[in-house]
Amino acid sequence: MRNAPTILHLDMDAFFASVEQASKPSLRGKAVVVGGLGPRGVVATASYEARVFGVHSAMPMSQARRLAPNAAYLVPRFTLYRTISEQVMALLRELSPLVEPLSLDEAFVDLEAGGAAWDEESARRAGEKLRADIRAVTGLTGSVGLAASKMLAKIASEQAKPDGLRLIEPGTERALLAPMPVRTLPGVGPATGDHLRRAGITTVEELAEAGEDELVRLLGKAHGHALYAMALARDERPVVAERETKSVSVEDTYDVDIHDRLRVGLEVQRLADRCVRRLRQAGLSGRTIVLKVRRYDFSTLTRSETLRGPTDDPVVIREAAARLLDSVDTTGGVRLLGVGVSGLADYTQEDLFAQAMPVPAAEEPEKGAVEAVVERAEPVERQWRAGQDVRHTEHGHGWVQGSGLGRVTVRFETPHSSPGRVRTFFADDPALESADPLPLVPDSSRPAERPGPPDRGRRTAPPRPPEDLAAQASSDPASLPKSWSGTLGGEATSRP
């Protein structure tokens, strides 16, 4: 392990929630919770103001609402989060060619590899400059940990939160780790932690005192050796610049179990199309199609099919997913569906005609059956989700505070304005449309957009109390997809 603290770990502070607060002046300093808004939604990120009430990531949204009923509950805006993440990662790559992104808001950097730091003082200067640059470019804050290894740098950044910098000086590592719980170390999850607790080991110091042989006996050879080394503050893992993508997938959790087999099939087709879009955005193709089904009793089934060559053809992937669905019993109802592609490649096999399996003529549905399905189709209603960007022809840019029962409430403000006014419209108002997010830091090359002029008598829907707005339930997907697809469901009222 190196001696100088030149491994940097950056963790953006409450990233999704911080972006929403920076984007919406009326939410600054308020409790904000970002995630799926339906009954089965989960919390993606909670602002520090919301954490005071006990709200945290991965918590069921229903529990979060009980703990912090007056918080603002918003759907994620992944397009904006990715844009800001790319700006932050670009700043990291200016420091070093060795940048290892862990997620949109977290990364390791080897400062020594880029000549950005070689001792304690230079590492601290690099960390402080990075924090200042992030604030200047994005308007957000990040916490920085500096140490001689990845494990210690991550621990340091946790101690620096929020909006701080922590450097672990060489020679102090073991004293720092000794009183910490064993769950602090990488690879120690709930099961391993419970196993160690039953053996009388609860702190890192007790882990080191137990000895390598005892840990191997308790946890197995590989895990025991690795954990003992970490207890002694040894972590030789390098910063890896390129993390190979192993799969691309999307999934949705539904507010109400789906029992209709036709609806399940349509959802699988829709997920397959979304997965193809993600593949093409990444310039990838894949050979193995994977279907994930979580049934009403929480049992989870996965089925896969490997093609003869990699593809990003939506027809091929839809048909493969449909074949996989045929082997799954969904009689009792489905609460989650997912479609993924693995065995990735950066090229597409052109000769895939044999992989696509068109329905034989004898099995094609009759014309009358197709017409019956068309007759049952209903026009798609406009969906307004809390936190969504909108624009009104008269009032300008704003965001949805809540919707339901044919009305939508919008607060008109921008990242660079003062807190804006709230207005309620009919949900089908032609003057109101979805909009792209505005940048958090104004572009000097063009004027910043501002909310529109004051109301001049345009007809709007009468205001409605929050309890009425919250009455509208949604059957749209409500969980946070692991694929970061950004498609979330549930209508709710946010109360900043």
Q: Could you say which of 20, 49, 100, 106 is catalytic?
A: 106
SS3 26: helix
The separation between CA 412 and the C-alpha centre of its own chain, rounded to angstroms, equals 26
Q: List 100's β-bridge partners, or say none.
A: 108
| CA neighbor of 267 nearest in space, from 244, 286, 247, 293 | 293
DSSP string for residues in 404-432? ETTEEEEEE--TTS---EEEEEETT-TTE
Residue 285 CB coordination number (10 Å): 25
Residue 167 CB coordination number (10 Å): 19
Annotated binding site for Mg(2+): 11, 105
> Per DSSP, which regions of 76-164 are E strands?
99-103, 106-110, 142-147
CA distance 205 to 234: 14
Annotated binding site: 11, 105
CA angle 463, 467, 469 (to 5 degrees): 55
Distances (CA, A) of 244 to 85, 103, 248, 346: 18, 13, 11, 12
Residue 106 is a catalytic residue: yes
CA-only gyration radius of the chain, Å: 26
Measured in Å, how far apart are the chain's first and last C-alpha atoms? 48
CA distance 190 to 42: 20
What type of residue is 60? P
CA distance 203 to 180: 5
SS3 150: helix
Q: List 145's β-bridge partners, or say none.
A: 9, 166
CA distance 168 to 165: 10
State the residue for tokens 């959802």.
Answer: 267
Tokens of 121: 């003082």
Q: Among the residues of 112-149, which ranges form H helices?
A: 120-138
Catalytic residues: 106
